[in-house]
C-alpha cells in the first residue's frame, strides 16, 4: 500500500478519472433538471470534453497504428498470394499452349489418317532436329521394331514432309522435302488441273526466305494457276501417288526467261511440327 500511494503519477491519474466520472454524473443530473445548462455546468462539460480528447488521443493513436500494421500484414499476405497466382497462371498458360499445339497436331493426324485408307499408317514423334541441319534432316522415335523401312514417305498434318532414309531398331532418320543435300532424295510431283492434264516435275529446291518449295523440270506451265493442288506423282516408285504436298503459290521464269519454276506453298509448316505419320502400302 505504501508503494501504491508513493506513486504520484498513478494517484494523479486515479484522481482525474474520479473527477471525470463525478462530472459526468453531475452533468447527467443537471441536464435532466434544466433545459439550458448553467455556466458552471457548461464549463464542466467543456473540461470533460477536453480531458476525454486528451485520454482518447493516445488510445486512438494506438488503435490506428495497430489497424495500420494489421492492414499492412494483410496486404503483404495478399501480395504474396497474388504473386503465387501469377506464377501459377504463367505455368498454366505455358502448359495449355503446349497441350493446344499437341492437340492440334493430333487432330491434323486424325484428319490425315482418315484420307489415307489405302495405306498402313505409323504415328511417330520428332525427337531430334539439329539447328545446323534444320531444313535437311530430323529423327523420329520409331524404327524397324515398329515396321518402318527405308524410303517410306513421312507426312505431318495434311502434307508430305519427307522420306525415311535410315532405319534403326527404335528410331529413324528422315530426309525432309526441303533438303538440298541430294538429288536422289527429291520428290516427283504433279500439279492437279481440272481438265486432267496434270503437269509433272520434281521438288528441286527450297526457297527458305519465302518458305516455298520450288518445283523444277516442269513439262509445261500452261494451265497452271495459283491455288491448284500439288501431289506426289508416284514416278520413280519410291513414293505412292496422290500424297498432298501443297498448293501453287507462284510461277516464275529464270533470269533468262527460258525455264519456268512453280513455287509451292507446303501444306505443313516445315519449320514447326512435332507429330508425323509414316506411310507404307499394305502388302
Question: Can you give the residue range of the structural domain that contains 31?
Answer: 1-115
- Residues 54-103: pLDDT tens digits? 555 565 555 566 666 667 767 777 777 776 667 667 667 766 767 777 77
Q: Check the CA dihedral 106-107-112-113 and report its sign.
A: positive
Distance CA 1, CA 162 (A): 103
HSE-CB for 51 with a 13 A CA cutoff: 16
Domain co-membership, 102 together with 130: no
HSE-CB for 111 with a 13 A CA cutoff: 11
Domain co-membership, 62 together with 172: no
Domain co-membership, 138 together with 277: yes
Please say if the pLDDT value at position 30 is more than 60.
Answer: no
Distance CA 261, CA 205 (A): 10
23, 40 in Cβ contact below 8 A? Answer: no
Q: Could you please report the per-residue DSSP string of 133-199?
A: GTTTEEEES--GGGT--TT-EEEETTEEEEEEEEE-SS-EEEEETT--S-GGG--EEEE--TTS--E
**Pick from 32-36, 132-136, 151-155, 160-164: least confident:** 32-36
Q: What's the domain count of the chain?
A: 2
Q: Which of 115, 150, 184 is the last residue of a domain?
A: 115
Q: Given this model, what pLDDT does residue 4 score?
A: 47
By the 10 Å C-beta count (0-12 exposed, 13-18 middle, 19+ buried), 180 is classed as: middle
> pTM to 2 decimals?
0.64
All three cell numbers of 217, joined, read 523440270
Domain co-membership, 29 together with 102: yes
Amino acid at each position: 500500500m505504501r508503494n501504491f500511494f508513493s506513486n504520484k503519477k498513478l494517484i494523479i491519474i486515479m484522481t482525474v478519472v474520479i473527477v471525470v466520472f463525478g462530472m459526468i454524473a453531475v452533468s447527467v443530473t443537471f441536464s435532466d433538471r434544466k433545459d439550458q445548462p448553467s455556466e458552471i455546468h457548461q464549463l464542466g462539460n467543456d473540461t470533460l470534453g477536453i480531458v476525454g480528447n486528451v485520454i482518447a488521443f493516445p488510445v486512438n493513436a494506438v488503435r490506428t497504428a495497430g489497424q495500420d500494421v494489421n492492414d499492412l500484414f494483410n496486404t503483404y499476405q495478399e501480395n504474396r498470394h497474388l504473386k503465387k497466382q501469377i506464377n501459377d497462371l504463367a505455368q498454366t498458360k505455358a502448359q495449355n499452349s503446349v497441350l493446344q499445339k499437341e492437340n492440334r497436331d493430333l487432330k491434323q493426324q486424325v484428319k490425315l489418317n482418315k484420307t489415307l485408307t489405302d495405306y498402313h499408317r505409323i504415328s511417330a514423334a520428332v525427337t531430334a532436329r539439329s539447328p545446323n541441319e534444320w531444313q535437311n534432316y530430323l529423327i523420329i522415335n520409331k524404327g524397324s521394331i515398329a515396321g518402318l523401312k527405308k524410303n517410306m514417305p513421312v507426312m505431318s498434318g495434311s502434307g508430305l514432309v519427307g522420306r525415311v532414309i535410315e532405319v534403326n531398331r527404335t528410331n529413324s532418320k528422315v530426309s525432309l522435302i526441303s533438303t538440298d543435300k541430294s538429288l536422289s532424295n527429291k520428290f516427283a510431283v504433279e500439279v492437279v488441273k481440272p481438265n486432267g492434264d496434270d503437269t509433272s516435275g520434281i521438288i528441286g529446291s527450297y526457297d527458305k526466305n519465302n518458305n516455298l518449295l520450288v518445283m523444277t523440270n516442269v513439262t509445261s506451265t500452261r494451265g497452271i494457276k495459283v491455288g491448284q493442288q500439288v501431289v506426289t506423282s508416284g514416278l520413280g516408285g519410291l513414293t505412292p501417288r496422290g500424297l498432298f504436298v501443297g498448293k501453287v503459290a507462284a510461277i516464275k521464269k529464270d533470269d533468262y526467261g527460258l525455264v519456268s519454276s512453280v513455287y509451292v506453298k507446303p501444306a505443313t509448316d516445315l519449320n514447326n511440327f512435332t507429330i508425323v505419320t509414316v506411310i507404307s502400302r499394305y502388302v
